[in-house]
Amino acid sequence: MGPLIPNGIIPEDWNYIIAILIGFAFGYILEASGFSSSRKLAGQFYGYDFAVLKVFFTSAVVAVIGLYYMDYLNFLDISMLFVQPTYLWAAIIGGMIMGVGFLAGGFCPGTSLCAVAIGKIDGIVFTIGLVIGIFIFSESFSALEPLFESSNLGNITLVDTLGVSPYWIIFIFTIIALIAFVFSDWVRSKVKKVFY
């Protein structure tokens, strides 16, 4: 019942083995969907390849529907899952910096690991850049600390923020996702084809 390891049904020591297996599947799926190619990733901002949007939305919708069904059938306890803390300004500013970084480098950390694994040199350079970026952040932490720690709203979910039942949120999210899929196909047919 529920998340197995926090409830003690599976002993704690399996945690790392499960981590490796899950990472294995994650890397496999990412690479096989083509996310190790930076041009495919950047394509979504220029309209010639919407794979990122499709994979993202599909996986989010499937995951959220699956989790809430499992909660409904008492297989899982949603309140025990990890919800990350919301630091309002840190998330927004960090997200903006990440957006610029995404466009410049064409990768994100998960996909850059895939690119490293299949030998893309720009992936390796991106990973080195990530390391340098983390290093820079840690060194200048004292200057950035107020931003980092500001406006902690706690581990809130959309349910708390919007005050609506989660099932309605999921429903509307699904509809938005479906509309986005149709829209992306329409945009793709209108944009000049790019071969990469």
Partner 1 sequence: MSKKYKLKRLLVRRYQILAAILFILAAGLVLLPKYKKNEGIAPDLFVKNIISSERYISTDLLADRLVNQDPTVLLIDTRSEKEFNDYALPNAVNIPLKDLLNENFDGYINQDVYDVILYSNENFYADQAWIISNRLGYQNLYVLKGGLNEWFNTIINPKMPEETEPKEAFDLYSFRKAAGMYFGVGIVKSEVKKEIKKKKPTRKVITVKKKKKRVPEGGC
Partner 2 sequence: MVKKKQQNRHVYWNPYFGGFLLGLLIILTFYLTGRGLGASGALKSGVVTVVHTIAPTHAENNVYYSKFIKEGESPMNNWLVFEAIGVLLGAFLSGAFTGRLKLKVQHSPKITSRRRLVFALIGGILFGLGAQIARGCTSGAALSGMAVLSTGGFITMLAIFGTGYAVAYFFRKNWI
Q: Which residues bind partner 1 (CB under 8 A)?
A: 3, 5-8, 12, 61-62, 65, 68-69, 72, 74, 80-84, 167-168, 170-171, 173-175, 177-178, 181
> Residue 188 binds what, of partner 1, partner 2, none (CB under 5 to 8 Å, by partner type)?
none
Query: Which among partner 1, partner 2, none contacts residue 175 (Cβ within 5 to 8 A by kind)?
Result: partner 1
Give yes or no for residue 66 binding partner 2 (CB under 8 A): yes
User: Interface with partner 2 includes 73 (CB under 8 A)?
Assistant: no
- Looking at beta carbons only, is 21 or 178 nearer to partner 1? 178
Residues near partner 2 (CB under 8 A), total: 130
- Smallest gap from Cβ 20 to partner 1, in A, equals 17
Residue 21 DSSP SS3? helix
Segment 10-49, which members bind partner 2 (CB under 8 A)? 10, 15-16, 18-34, 36-40, 42-43, 45-46, 48
65 closest CA partner among 172, 143, 182, 181: 172
Residues 86-125, one symbol each (x = binds partner 2 by CB under 8 A, - = not), give xxx-xxxxxxxxxxxxxxxxxxxxx-xxxxxxxxxxxx-x
Cβ at position 91, least distance to partner 1 in Å? 12
- Are 99 and 92 a contacting pair, CB within 8 Å? no
Give the count of beta carbons closer than 10 Å to the beta carbon of residue 112: 26
Interaction of residue 158 with partner 2, rule CB under 8 A: yes
Tell the smallest beta-carbon distance from residue 135 to partner 1 (Å). 16
CB burial string 135-173: b at 16+ within 10 A, e below: eeeeeeeeeeeeeeeeeeeeeeeeeeeeeeeeeebbeeb
> 73 φ, ψ to 5°?
-90, 10
Q: For residue 24, how many other CB atoms are within 10 A of its CB?
A: 10
Partner from partner 1, partner 2, none contacting 180, C-beta within 5 to 8 A by type: none
- The CB density around residue 86, as the number of other CB atoms within 10 Å, is 16
Q: Is 177 helix (H, G, I), strand (E, B) or coil?
A: helix
